[in-house]
Structure 1
Amino acid sequence: MAIKPAVTVRHYCQGIGDCHLLSFPTPDGSLFRMLIDCGVHVSIKGGPALVADIVADIEKATDGGKIDVLVVTHEHWDHVSGFLTSKDLFAGFDVKEVWMAWTENPADQQAVELDKFKAAALTALQGVSKRLDAAQEPTAHLAGIRDGLQSVLGFQFGAAGERVRSARDAAAGLSKTRPTYLEPGKPPLSIEQLPNLRIYVLGPPRDKAALRLEEKAGEMFPLAGGGPFARALAAGLKMNDGTGDADYIDELSPFERHVGTELSAALNGDKGSDPRIDIGAFVREHYAGPVSHPAPTEDHDQSWRRIDADWMGIAADLALQLDRGVNNTSLVLAFEFTDSNNVFLFPGDAQIGNWLSWKDLKWQLEQATVTTADLMARTVYLKVAHHGSQNAMPQKQGIDLLTNADLSAFIPTNQDDAKKVRWHEMPYDAILTALAAKTNGRVIRADDKWLADKNGKPAFVTPSGSIRAVRHAPRDKARGEGGLWVEVDLA
């Protein structure tokens, strides 16, 4: 006898990006539909057209775009771009509710403070990016920073310079009602049409320390520390552009502002304030270029010593804070079915700080106390966070807690696309190996080769574990090879 699925999940396979359509059967025979995110990374060739195909498919699959709940996990382009680039297609949808994290709430003071940091950081990073783009012969170090900034800013602005905020707001505007802003620790959400379902909010955390954590528990990059970094970059840009004023201070400078001689002045012949040293001559002879009378062991051209632009190197640290800090603001939902006790986990792009913040959460229900460890132990299906990157999930407080024998997983990633943007370990091999062992091989990836073949099948046998059935649809050939979507019935 076939087991009726608790939910059918259609994962779209745009590569680097998230879009998931969940269809829950209700007692009256209808379907309750939830859409989680809709976007693609800016680097994906033909990405907007591919997303348009996805939106058209969603409309067809939901009886003309009837969505009961739209979930927007966080403010990154590869999760929300479709709401802007396919705005005209979404305009015909009927979206009843929009759920977002507390971090997107304009009436929340902590969210406002976080937003101020993001705005200052983006302004500074844009300025540095433009300056590096205009550099004639940047050092290898600065060229690497330039390329990295382009990737980070792509998450925030899109290919044509659209702000990710515009895409997020377009998603929020699809419902006639104000978005519901969610935070962890509150009683689980219930849906009237689905009496057997409880939804727990695990993240993002309120704890600022948790928002700061990135790759390892022992390494912290303070989000608040981005303030001085952003101000220092802004100061440097102003000073180098000649627009600085007496009140503009570089907080990270190792010297008092009145000490020393401006490089531009020294290059123009200024001898400096110390009569014993002709600082201008010294700079020209030993720093700026050709030496008039080099010593036998000295290079004729001393320009290799120049570090004029190296102050922009702190942009790498600021970009890291911004990118991963935003990922740590991901909305994390755990779906618990009370009739089976099974849990389905959708963590957005949550990184280490977000994961670690769940450890001590607990919910007191009438029947019992539910803990995060309990939810993790009962998880039978995982949407892998952040495309399976190295910091997509911790070991001890993440994958080690996923102990259910029926566990299966989906990874929204395309390894070839990741390599094109220099993410050479996405998905991360150690996470792939651990998941393969935990799931007995029941891992589906958005770039699985069998998805391009209409008759293709996964390597594992179905039904198996939590997966009762698998269906898929290849892309239109005009959009390249690969699958458009893969759909799993879960129980």
Structure 2
Amino acid sequence: MDDQLLIRAYSVGVGDCIYVRIPKACTKDGVVDDFHILIDCGKKGSADLLKVALDHLVQELPKVNGKGRLDLLLISHEHEDHIKGIDPAWFANIKIENIWMSVAIDRTHPQARFTHQFHDMAAMAMRNIAARGLALSPELEDIVERYGIGNDGAVDALRKVLPQQNGIAPLYVHADLKPEALRPPTLTGAVFKVIGPEFDIDSFYLGDAGESVLHGFSASTGVLKPAGKAADCGLPSNISASDFKRLQSRMMSSAFAFAEEEGEVVNNTSVMLLIEWRGRRLLFVGDAEWNTAYREKKKNFAWNTAWALHKDELNKPVDFLKIGHHGSINSTPWNDKEDGARTEASSILDAILPLPDGGVAPSAKAIVSTERTFYKVIPRATLLVEIAKRISNTKVYSTALPPDQLAGLPNFTDYEKKWLGSPQPLRTDLESRLTGKGFVNVMIDPKTAP
């Protein structure tokens, strides 16, 4: 156990809170110790489970002056399901040595100017919709909550409060940083590489259409004012009340579409971290998404960009994959048509998690931090079954779970019943039902001697 690397996914619902312990990879004041990482701390909905996870984590960390020493806090991107638990009070008993986050979160970054305007306009529109107190579907409510004021507080804590509390400066990471620039001073037993996002956020993830997209949406923010302010302004003189309501409805639809597109950009600027340790390669991808193919000077997706620019790192197998975006259909590259055709996306999956030759058992491992809710594509059952063909740590949940628990799973008939009889990667939602624990562990053995 002392020689194994630990990946622990806390069961927090739809969210990532992942602890990584790299054995004997930290040297401080001449003492060799383990290196401790927390990758993201968020979830959708109530944050209660995040507090439980952090309290448990503190007990796992070595103590320095009465606080748990966390060698690295890495935040992949700024959606609530990855940052909701970033509350300075909750980290009061943790001494953070390094804070990393995506360069897209840096509000002073000149190559993310349009991206930040994109975010601000989407946030304004969603908050104005929230202020109207409308009854929304769960899907639309989720989009609105993505831009809540609490999200701003978590980002502010990352950029200012936690660095001040710990006497450090945050590092905004991107693919242009070499491993030597990504080596924390005490890291001695592993190599960190970032293969996404690229430094020029606007060029790679918005492309040459960025400015026109922003201009095309700007009119919507004027119509979608909070109800009280709209009443104060009165109706336009050249439009009837019914036509004005229809106009607002169209604008609202446009606003939601705009916010969804902005959400894609945030996902695609996730930090894609590759850890190399004693002959093993571990890939943590946040919510990075994929598309059909990389296109020069166009809006691109994270996986395609990394494949185009960092194929030397991606075109070989990994020993562990943190399955992206809670098992979403669009965050692990694959042939989603499932027709056997070879695509850029399926080529990426075949490279990082190749199908084993006949009779040879796969050796790679994976985990997905997920929970079945109202989403049709989170997790995507067919994707999980496909990934399971390529990894060793799988489970057939239809036989592992008792019948009463199976029948009580959310949306069991629509999204689970047909697929739980096939092997799937370890899932936090189902493992927590099986074990009663609030986390799932994956152990990685070294391939080479120290």
**What TM-score, normalized to structure 1?**
0.67
C-alpha change, 1:371 and 1:244, in structure 2 (3 Å) is: farther
Q: Structure 2: how far apart are the matches of 1:15 and 1:308? A: 34
Preserved contact between residue 328 and residue 349 of structure 1 (Cα < 8 Å): yes
1:130-169 maps to which residues of 2 (within 5 A)? 130-131=131-132, 133-134=133-134, 144=137, 147-157=138-148, 162-169=149-156
Is there any run of 5+ residues in structure 2 with no aligned partner, and where?
26-30, 291-300, 335-343, 355-361, 406-420, 446-450
1:233-382 maps to which residues of 2 (within 5 A)? 233-237=220-224, 241=231, 243=233, 261-264=238-241, 309-337=249-277, 339-340=278-279, 342-352=280-290, 353-362=301-310, 371-374=312-315, 377-382=316-321
Q: Structure 2: how far apart are the matches of 1:460 and 1:393? A: 19
**Superposed displacement of residue 322, structure 1:** 2.1
C-alpha change, 1:237 and 1:472, in structure 2 (3 Å) is: closer
Say if 2:384 is the partner of 1:390.
no
Question: Match for 2:100: what amino acid?
Answer: W
Q: Structure 1: how far apart are the matches of 2:131 and 2:392? A: 48
Preserved contact between residue 72 and residue 96 of structure 2 (Cα < 8 Å): yes
Q: Structure 2: how far apart are the matches of 1:194 and 1:306? A: 59
* Structure label with greater radius of gyration: 1
**Superposed displacement of residue 204, structure 1:** 1.5
Preserved contact between residue 70 and residue 96 of structure 2 (Cα < 8 Å): yes
Q: Structure 1: how far apart are the matches of 2:247 and 2:112? A: 38
Give the aligned partner of residue 181 of structure 1: 172
RMSD: 3.8
Question: How many residues were matched structurally?
Answer: 377
Q: Deviations over 1:129-169 (max 9, x none)?
A: 434x348xxxxxxx55xx43321122232xxxx43121122
Q: Percent identity?
A: 23
**What TM-score, normalized to structure 2?**
0.73
Is there any run of 5+ residues in structure 1 with no aligned partner, and where?
136-142, 214-219, 246-256, 268-286, 289-304, 363-369, 454-458
C-alpha change, 1:444 and 1:355, in structure 2 (3 Å) is: farther
Q: Structure 1: how far apart are the matches of 2:304 and 2:110? A: 23
Q: Structure 2: how far apart are the matches of 1:101 and 1:13? A: 24
C-alpha change, 1:482 and 1:122, in structure 2 (3 Å) is: farther
Question: Match for 2:155: what amino acid?
Answer: R
Question: Match for 1:414: what amino acid?
Answer: E
**Superposed displacement of residue 357, structure 1:** 0.7
Say if 2:83 is the partner of 1:73.
no
C-alpha change, 1:443 and 1:191, in structure 2 (3 Å) is: farther
Q: Secondary structure at the match of 1:343?
A: strand
Q: Structure 2: how far apart are the matches of 1:473 and 1:32? A: 29
C-alpha change, 1:359 and 1:39, in structure 2 (3 Å) is: same
Q: Structure 2: how far apart are the matches of 1:24 and 1:201? A: 17
1:324-473 maps to which residues of 2 (within 5 A)? 324-337=264-277, 339-340=278-279, 342-352=280-290, 353-362=301-310, 371-374=312-315, 377-395=316-334, 396-397=344-345, 398-403=348-353, 405-415=362-372, 418-419=373-374, 423-440=375-392, 442=394
Say if 2:127 is the partner of 1:126.
yes
Preserved contact between residue 3 and residue 23 of structure 2 (Cα < 8 Å): no
C-alpha change, 1:486 and 1:3, in structure 2 (3 Å) is: same
Which residue of the other structure, out of 203, 211, 223, is the alignment partner of 2:205? 211
- Structure 1, 320-329 or 308-317: larger mean CA deviation: 308-317
C-alpha change, 1:244 and 1:322, in structure 2 (3 Å) is: farther
Q: Structure 1: how far apart are the matches of 2:141 and 2:210? A: 20
C-alpha change, 1:441 and 1:98, in structure 2 (3 Å) is: closer
Q: Secondary structure at the match of 1:30?
A: strand
Q: Secondary structure at the match of 1:88?
A: coil
Preserved contact between residue 18 and residue 37 of structure 1 (Cα < 8 Å): yes
- Structure 1, 198-207 or 223-232: larger mean CA deviation: 223-232
C-alpha change, 1:113 and 1:60, in structure 2 (3 Å) is: same
Give the aligned partner of residue 49 of structure 2: 50
